[in-house]
Amino acid sequence: MGMILISALSMGAIGAVLAGFLAFADKKMKVEEDPMVEALTGALPGSNCGGCGFAGCRVFAEALMKGNALPNACVAGGSETSKAVAEIMGVDAGSMKRNIAVVLCKGGNNEAERRATYRGEMTCTAETLTGADKSCSYGCLGLGECVDACKFDAMAMNENGLPVVFYDKCVGCGACARACPRNIIEMHPEDHKLFVYCRSRDKGAYAKKVCKVACIACGLCVKDCSAPGGIALKDNLAVINHDVAPQNDESIKRCPTKCILYGIEESVTRSNYFASIRK
Amino acid sequence: MELILIFISASLINNFVLTYFLGICPFVGVSNKTENALNMGFATTFVMTLTAAATWPIYNYVLVKFNVPFLQYVAFIIIIAALVQFVEMYIRKASPSLYRALGIFLPLITTNCAVLGLALFMVMREYSFLESIVFGFATGVGFTLAIVMMSGIREELEFADIPKHFQGISITLIIAGMMALAFMGFAGLIRG
């Protein structure tokens, strides 16, 4: 009986002393954490994509609190997230434009020539280091590093060896554009519809020899463009000035290689892409 | 001299992780990045040293005095739990980034059997107070050494071509076994 009593008392005493010590430490070491930061972090998607320009969702939330970021800067979450964030912050969400990734190369396995067979590490970055197997030194290598970089299931490699962006899934974080060693992917606001799907700066004759859909810098689109200065030739490549160029398909009609196209990005959604390959 | 011997014995020869196989959970769980492994090692070393310092007086002045040494398991567990809570508060205050990096593994030090093992060995070997603290610190150093070495190897392994069925935890356990074999070599340091 005595032993049980002693056991209970000694354990109780040890427990009480420790509890007191912890309670004291808790008071002393209280961390002043802003509950707003917690709430904001909770409202963000949490994918840490870096699309807002900050290192992660939490860092973005802290920047929001300090006033260094705009509530609608989160591209991954879209308008719903910016609405939620603005509600927590107590400000007006404002309108925001979504960016989407555009793959500026149409020279897949069927169109572009390969001068060798690459058998190394199957990533585009590694292949770039070897000089790559494509004759065109500006075209897509087709190993899908951009698809691996996408965290939103918004990209896939098609059977022609080119990446496709799903218009409905892309949040405009730009991870694919950063992953591409040849800088083929550009980020554009979704109201841009006219693109030259080629990055080749080779002379027209060579560009056409190695790829059926290369821009050969013939200048027909420049002549046909209804807005002056909308399309210009630079380094053997037609370059579109999106601020000036008309948003219509007038200028693309005479393109001999059909590398300038209008409004095709928005036609590809995830569901209709997979429906089309199942057929 | 005795203290140096205890230090070398606990950190190298009788390394907790690699000869007693205590504390395998964080050893496997937090050893994928050297930076995190090092932080985990430091946190564990800190907890172990404090544990040694806190359990010795309680064992000798409370449990032995009242003739209830069989309570050591229960007593040690609550002391360790309280200390880990304290360390968690301290790290949260001192370094929020470290707090986030350690994440769930920080409270898991509570259930790290190496810490309880340390307290029990300390009692079993009848160390003095100073010896206990050196023993606790040396055990932590040994744990840090093992986990950092493991993380170094695992970072290299990222690039290795491992057969499919050995990938992940299996290759980690195989490497732990090899490291344990290598650490057996230290047994020759002290004769007798």
Q: What is the pLDDT of residues A22-68, one digit of tens each?
A: 899 888 877 766 777 888 888 888 777 777 767 778 778 877 777 77
* Model confidence band, residue B100 (pLDDT cutoffs 50, 70, 90): confident
Q: Which residues of A touch B (CB under 8 A)?
A: 3, 6-7, 10-11, 13-15, 18-19, 21-22, 25-26, 29, 31
Q: Determine contact, residues B16/B118, Cβ cutoff 8 Å.
A: yes
Q: Tell me: pLDDT of A95 over 60.
A: no
For chains A and B, count residue pairs whose Cβ atoms are closer than 8 Å: 44
Q: What CA–CA distance (Å, rounded) separates A255 from A52? A: 37
Instruction: Indicate if the pLDDT at residue B165 is higher than 60.
Output: yes
Task: Please check whether residue B192 lies inside any domain of the structure.
Answer: no
B85:A22 CB<8 A: yes
| Contact flag A29-B93 (C-beta cutoff 8 Å) | yes
Residue B46 has pLDDT above 60, yes or no: yes
Instruction: With cut-offs at 50, 70 and 90, classify the pLDDT of residue B192.
Output: very low
Q: CATH class for domain A194-262?
A: alpha beta
Give A195's strand partners: A261
Does the beta-carbon distance from A18 to B71 stay under 8 Å?
no
Distance CA B130, CA B59 (A): 15
Residue B190 reports pLDDT greater than 70: no
Span A105-160, pLDDT tens digits: 999 888 898 888 888 888 999 999 888 889 999 999 999 999 988 878 889 999 89
Partner-chain residue, chosen from A6, A19, A29, that has the shortest CB–CB distance to B68? A6
**Which residues of A fall within a CB distance of 8 Å from B80?**
none
- Beta carbons of A278 and A213 less than 8 angstroms apart: no
B90/A10 Cβ within 8 A: no
Kindly state whether residue B36 falls inside one of the protein's structural domains. Answer: yes
Name residue A237's beta-bridge partners.
Answer: A234
Residue % of chain B over a pLDDT of 90: 23
Residue A146: what pLDDT? 92
**What pLDDT sits at residue A279?**
65
B61 touches chain A (CB under 8 A): no
Query: Domain spans of chain A?
Result: 35-89, 97-191+265-279, 194-262
Q: Which CATH number fits domain A97-191+265-279: 3.30.70.20, 3.40.1790.10, 3.30.70.260, 1.10.760.10?
A: 3.30.70.20
CA–CA distance, A214 with A39 (Å, rounded to integer): 50
What are the start-end ranges of the H helices in chain B?
2-8, 16-19, 24-29, 34-57, 72-94, 96-102, 105-108, 113-124, 129-157, 169-184
Domains in chain B, number:
1
CB of B96 within 8 Å of any CB in chain A?
Answer: yes
Structure tokens at A114: 């390969």
Mean pLDDT rounded to a whole number for chain B: 86
pLDDT of residue A25: 87
CB contact under 8 A, A11 and B90: no
**B71–A10 CB contact, under 8 Å:** yes
Asked whether residue B149 carries a pLDDT value surpassing 90, the answer given is: yes
* Residue B66 forms contact with A (CB below 8 Å): yes
In chain A, which ranges are continuous DSSP H helix? 2-28, 35-43, 57-66, 78-89, 124-130, 145-149, 175-179, 204-210, 220-224, 270-278
- pLDDT at residue A171 in the model: 79
- Put simply, whether B10 touches A (Cβ < 8 Å) is no
Q: What is the ipTM of this complex?
A: 0.72
Which of chain A's residues have a Cβ under 8 Å away from the Cβ of B90?
Answer: 25, 29
Fold of domain A35-89: 3-methyladenine DNA Glycosylase II; Chain A, domain 3 (1.10.15)
Note the pLDDT tens digit of each residue in B13-37.
Answer: 888 888 888 888 888 887 888 888 8
B181 occurs within a structural domain: yes
Q: Is residue B101 part of a domain?
A: yes
How far, in Å, CA of B74 to CA of A76, rounded? 50
- Shared fold status for A97-191+265-279 and A194-262: yes
Average pLDDT over residues A202-214: 90
How far is A157 from chain B, CA to nearest CA, in Å?
25
Whether residue B63 has pLDDT greater than 50: yes
Shortest distance between the Cα of B82 and any Cα of chain A, in A, equals: 6
Among partner residues B66, B75, B93, which is closest to A6 by beta-carbon distance? B66
- For residue A162, what pLDDT is reported? 92
Q: What is the pLDDT of residue A204?
A: 87
Mean pLDDT on A219-244: 85
Is residue A242 over pLDDT 50? Answer: yes
Q: Across the interface, do B58 and A14 touch by the CB < 8 Å criterion?
A: yes
pLDDT at B11 over 80: yes
pLDDT value at position A53?
Answer: 67
User: What is the percent of chain B with per-residue pLDDT over 70, rounded to a whole number?
Assistant: 96
Range of the domain at B24: 2-187
